[in-house]
Structure formats: C-alpha cells, structure tokens
Amino acid sequence: MLRTFRPGHRLVGHPSWQQQHAWRKLCKLKQARRIPAPELPRPFSPACRQSYSSLPPSLLEKVGRNPEVAKVVLKKGKVQLFKNGSPMVYSGAVDSVVGRPPPAIGDTVLVTDGAKQPFAWGVFNSESMFRVRIMQMEEEILNDPSCFMDMERLIQTRISAAVELRKLLDLPSNETNVYRLVNSEGDGLSGLIADVLGGHLVVASSAAWVEKYRKTIEEVFYKQINPKSITWKPSIEILKEEGLRISDPTELLMDLSDEVDEIEVIENGIRYRASPTGQKTGFYADQRENRHFLRPLCKGKRVLDLCCYSGGFALNAAVGGASHVTGVDSSGPAIELAKANAVLNGIEEGRYTFLRQDIKHFLSLSVAEGKSWDIVILDPPKLAPSRRVLPRAVASYRRLNALAMRAVNPSGLLMTCSCSGAMTQSGQFLSVLQEAARQAGRKLTQLRYAGASPDHTLDVSYPEGAYLTNVLLKMFRDGLSLILTEFEG
C-alpha cells in the first residue's frame, strides 16, 4: 500500500534517508504536487529495527561482548555527564564493576550505561575517588581505533599531539623556552603534567596509571623532544590516596639522567634561573601571558610584587621601565633566586629591592607608615586546596586583598590572583574583591580578567581543570566606603 507525503515531510531517523532526499528534489517540480513515497518501513517498526540490527557492531560492542573484558557500569542518573565528555568517573557514579578477575589498579576497562552498553574506555582504580579516568569516547574510537584499549599507543599519540599543539602556539621559540608540554585532562592524559625548562623536562605525576606506565612515558618523551634530562616529581600524598603502597618515597624520585640542580630558561626575552627540584615543576609558566601584559604598564611606576618567588612579575616590571620594583616573599631561597635573576638580566641594583618577609606583616606595616605603590601584584599560594576549606580561604583572600588595596596609590593598579581551583570554579573571586574594596574604602574598575597561559590547555567538558584567576583592577578612593569602614572600626 502506497502512502503520500507533503513536500518537506521528513522521516527522522530512517536508514534510507538518501531515497527521501531524492524524493524531496522531485517534489520541487511544479507538476509534482503529490507523489507517492517509496514503500519504506516505518521508523522504529519491526522492519526498521531489523534493518538497523543488520548493521555491523561497533568495536566497542564487539569487545563489550567479551566476558573477560572488565566493565564499569554507571548508575542510570549519572550516565549523561560522562557521555557529554567529562573524563573523570567518580566513585559515586559507579553502580557496579563487572569482570572476573576484578580489574587491578591501572587496568583498562570499558565504561557502560545502565544497560551495559559501552560508550568509552579508560584506566581503572578501585582505591581512588576517581574510579575511571576516561581515555577515549566512542566517537574518538571510530576516528582512531588504533589506540583502543592500548595505553602505550594512546600515550604515544597524545604526547605527539601535545607537541604539535605547542608548535602551533610557537613554543618553544627564541624568546621563550619554558612552557607546559602536557597539561593533564587538557591534553587527554589525566594525572600527567610535563613542563619544558630549556632543554630539560620535569614530569609531575598524580595518578597511579602514570606510575604504572612511567617507562613508556619517558621513552615517548625522549623520542618526541629528546630532552637533556627528565626529572620525575610524583605527588606522594595524592599517589597514596590513589592506592600506591609507597614504603620509600625516594624510589619514585629517581630519574633516567643525572640530577639537574639549576637551569637557565628564557620567557618573553627575560632570563631566569630555575630549579627542577624547586616549587611545583620549578617554574610558574602559567602566568607567562599575564606577566607580559603587565610589562608596558609599568613604565615610570613604582611597583610592588607580593609573593614574588623568583621575581617573575617584578622582572617584567623592571624590564618595562619601572622606576623601582620591590619584591616580597616569605621564602629565603626564593628571594635569593629573584636577586640572582635581576643580576642575570642586567637590572641596575638601585632599581630593585627584594625582601624576605611575611606579606601580611609587610603590608600592615607599610600601610601604617603611609607607604604606597603605583602598581601592586598579589599572587599568593593556594589558599583553598579543596572546597571543604573554601569558606576559610574566602576570609583570607578578603583580608589580603583589602590590605593590598590600601597599599595602592589613588588611581593605581592592582593585579590580584588566585591559583586555587576551588575558588576559581566557585565564581566567588570577584565578589571577594568587592568585599575587600569596601573594607579598604576603594572603588574598583575591572580592566582585565584572565587565566593561565594557553599552553595550560583545558578540556571544556571538565571545568574543574581551571584553577588560575588573574584580575587587573583600577583603584579609586570611595569616600562613603572609607567613612563606613572607619566607623565600623
């Protein structure tokens, strides 16, 4: 029996859409007002389902039928988040783990919905709060099946892609040879961070699978960029939470080459001495674009760099023509490193001062003595390592920023930062700054809102990867707020 269709009518989801397309073209002819449609099975009818079932099964489905392949089955209400691309399957999203024997830490597993239909694969960890770190979604497997359930092949492919992406960002270059090469989830290798410092590589490990495949990772790095050395820096406490039994932490700290104490690197034309054994990976490359943006604003200005570490912002201010730069940090080695970097760049001794002091004490004393600067940079360490301590961190950020604002000249600039992921992801930082301004008797104008430099790639499906906030503010005295603050005091 033939059915008739109006022009423009569509059979959504029908496997024979090509025939419908040809029919619609015919309907455009004036003489074809009503044309019998081809005899086709109704969508989702038994005949249509039979046509779909005749299609060859996907690679995921084939492997999923193998009882020896372990599967992590997700709870019904939790599936969509991970189908949308979130790479970290937390323990509360898991309904069951199917497989005999059960998968061990670092084994590859399929990730399935409640009906046990697989849609991704990843590495398993029964001890971690992240039960599975997803490595490939179904669409990625279709595009590149060569990496399917093969961690060694996947590591090689992802690191190679990371190298090519940095080349696109002009890294390395004659002006910059310190940068992030692999940024965890942002480069599809959750738990692995790698920074290039000159001709050397520093690897930070925070996942059990990274330790399991350490040899492969190092071999791929040597093949891809041939570093002079690789310094391996495991996050011991996090790895303990990942289930690694670490009796002697020094066992994890051995690298494949001679230990390197100090390296000279260059960032936007400024030279630095960096240490792979120093804080984090030895250099804070995440602030590169923010330091460079600040440089031309400092000409003829007096600049204060709080929590200056090796002098990144301070040196950019000096190179930008600041009349005088003051750097403050509570770490003695950091202050010595900052001084050495100033000498390394030929900055006149009378144009900079680096002080080892607690910044709260320094700011309180400076404000009491009536000292102020044209530009103040506040880049404190991580005050909110987790959401649990965020309320306490909010109070600390508010107090610190209120003090820093009081140290800024009228109509001066404050560049203030938070490297706490919990703060950045909460979206509270600007509100905290507004409260700090009220306490300091200041009115704010936001000039710039930024994050980490682009080599610190982010997976848009995993906003938890964002951690750095950098805000540039113009200061104005707020007479009403100042009166209220003094009255409340």
298 is catalytic: no
Residue type for position 414: L
Q: How far apart are CA 196 and CA 227, in angstroms?
A: 8
Cross-strand pairs, 62: none
- The per-residue pLDDT for 49 is 36
User: Given this model, what pLDDT does residue 354 score?
Assistant: 99
Output the 3-class SS for the chain: CCCEECCCCCCCCCCCHHHHHHHHHHHCCCCCCCEECCCCCCCCCHHHHHHHHCCCCCHHHHHHCCCCCCEEEECHHHHHHHHCCCCEEEHHHEEEEECCCCCCCCCEEEEECCCCCEEEEEEECCCCCEEEEEEEEHHHHHHCHHHCCCHHHHHHHHHHHHHHHHHHCCCCCCCCCEEEEEEHHHHCCCCEEEEEECCEEEEEECCHHHHHCHHHHHHHHHHHCCCCCEEEEECHHHHHHCCCCCCCHHHHHCCCCCCCCCEEEEECCEEEEECCCCCCCCCCHHHHHHHHHHHHHHCCCEEEEECCCCCHHHHHHHHCCCCEEEEEECCHHHHHHHHHHHHHCCCCHHHEEEEECCHHHHHHHHHHCCCCEEEEEECCCCCCCCHHHHHHHHHHHHHHHHHHHHCEEEEEEEEEEECCHHHHHHCCHHHHHHHHHHHHCEEEEEEEEECCCCCCCCCCCCHHHCCCEEEEEEEEECHHHHHHHHHHC
Residue 301's contacts (CB-CB under 8 Å, 6 or more residues apart) are 317, 322, 323, 373, 374, 375
Confidence at residue 3, expressed as pLDDT on a 0 to 100 scale: 46
CA 331 to chain centre: 26
Which residues neighbour 295 within 8 Å (Cβ) at sequence distance 6 or greater? 268, 316, 317, 319, 320
Domains defined for the chain, CATH in brackets:
4-53 (no CATH), 59-149 (2.30.130.10), 152-253 (3.30.750.80), 284-488 (3.40.50.150)
Dihedral sign from CA coordinates of 18, 22, 28, 34:
negative
- At residue 12, the pLDDT reads 45
Confirm if 111 and 132 have CB atoms less than 8 A apart.
yes
Chain centroid, CA 153 distance in Å: 23
Q: Looking at 147, 298, 417, 419, which residue is catalytic?
A: 419
Predicted confidence at residue 382, as pLDDT, reads: 87
pLDDT tens, per residue, the chain with 489 residues: 444 444 444 444 444 444 555 445 545 544 444 545 444 444 334 443 343 334 456 778 888 788 889 999 999 999 999 999 999 999 999 999 998 889 999 999 999 999 999 999 999 999 999 999 999 999 999 988 999 999 999 999 999 999 999 999 999 999 999 999 999 999 999 999 999 999 999 999 999 999 999 999 999 999 999 999 999 999 999 999 999 887 655 555 554 445 678 899 999 999 999 988 877 888 999 999 999 999 999 999 999 999 999 999 999 999 999 999 999 999 999 999 999 999 999 999 999 999 999 999 999 999 999 999 999 999 999 887 788 888 888 999 999 999 999 999 999 999 999 999 889 899 999 999 999 999 999 999 999 999 999 999 999 999 999 999 999 999 998 754 444 433 343
Residue 393's nearest CA partner among 380, 410, 378 is 380
CA distance 377 to 269: 21
Q: What is residue 247's predicted lDDT score, i.e. its pLDDT? A: 62
311's torsion region: left (phi>0), alpha (psi -120 to 50) or beta?
left
Per-residue confidence (pLDDT) for residue 280, from 0 to 100: 82
**Strand-pair category, 88-90 with 71-74:** unpaired
pLDDT at 172: 98
